[in-house]
């Protein structure tokens, strides 16, 4: 029986690579992004490989975007078996200097839309007794981030929310996983207007997606791709908060 996956932020990076993995396993893909041209290009490539793809252009920074997505799913009689909340972005700079709209959009995309879309989809999963949810956070979720304060805080929300929801849904047949990648070779740094340290070792979006996909299918709750990232998170759990803040400022170049 055909299963359907809904992936937000699917036009590039980790979301696009996850779409390829789901396509190989025969899923019907519902791809969401605000970048309609890139989304159509990704959909076209996947269709050439015989994948069934539905495209929903949507800007998750707008209120009501989650409802717009689920309303279109209802009109087309599409049931979501797997939800991947991948869309997100960061902004670099002092909290008092960054534009209010940019920071509020960050919260809307990274927190509000993710939460709302999950709330709209999960009841039917519970009713059917099956479903998977993958929320994409970051290793930034494990420490405060001066000069990217909203981004780090939003990813901490995603991590905490995902772990709590995974516990709530035990025994329902619905699993919740949270993917926490470290620095990844995507458009993230360009959009955040950050210049990554040349010494920073980045994983490819494909590597991160494969690790996330395997963890999701195993029902793993917290997924941290890469040995160095896993080691870093383990150290973060041990270090005092003041030292973490100093490290975070240095990483941000401040």
Degrees (nearest 5) of the Cα angle 67, 37, 71? 15
Q: Tokens representing 121?
A: 């989809």
DSSP string, 161-173: HHHHHHHHTTTTT
Return d(Cα 166, Cα 5) in angstroms, integer.
19
**Residue 185 phi/psi, 5° resolution?**
-75, 80
DSSP string, 11-23: TSHHHHHHHHHHH
Distant-in-sequence, close-in-space partners of 86: CB < 8 Å, separation ≥ 6 = 7, 8, 9, 10, 14, 15, 18, 134, 136
Element housing 28 (H / E) = strand 28-33
- DSSP class of residue 5 equals E
Catalytic residues, which ones? 151
Q: Tokens representing 193?
A: 């207007």
């Amino acid at each position: 029986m055909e299963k359907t996956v809904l992936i937000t932020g699917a036009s590039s990076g980790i979301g696009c690579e996850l779409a390829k993995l789901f396509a190989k396993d025969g899923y019907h893909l519902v791809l969401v992004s605000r970048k309609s041209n890139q989304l159509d290009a990704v959909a076209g490539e996947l269709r050439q490989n015989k994948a069934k793809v539905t495209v929903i252009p949507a800007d998750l920074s707008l209120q009501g975007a989650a409802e717009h997505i689920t309303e279109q799913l209802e009109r087309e009689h599409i049931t979501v078996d797997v939800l991947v909340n991948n869309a997100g972005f960061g902004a670099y700079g002092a909290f008092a200097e960054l534009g209010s709209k940019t920071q509020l959009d960050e919260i809307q995309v990274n927190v509000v839309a993710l939460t709302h879309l999950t709330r709209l989809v999960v009841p039917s999963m519970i009713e059917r007794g099956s479903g998977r949810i993958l929320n994409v956070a970051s290793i930034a979720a494990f420490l405060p981030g001066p000069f990217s304060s909203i981004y780090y805080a939003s990813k901490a929300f995603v991590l905490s929310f995902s772990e709590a929801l995974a516990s709530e849904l035990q025994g329902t047949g619905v699993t919740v996983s949270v993917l926490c990648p470290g620095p990844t070779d995507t458009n993230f740094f360009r959009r955040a207007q950050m210049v990554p340290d040349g010494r920073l070792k980045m994983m490819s979006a494909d590597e991160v997606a494969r690790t996330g996909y395997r963890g999701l299918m195993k029902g793993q709750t917290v997924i941290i791709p890469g040995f160095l990232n896993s080691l870093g998170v383990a150290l973060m759990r041990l270090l005092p908060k003041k030292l973490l803040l100093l490290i975070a400022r240095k990483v941000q170049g401040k």
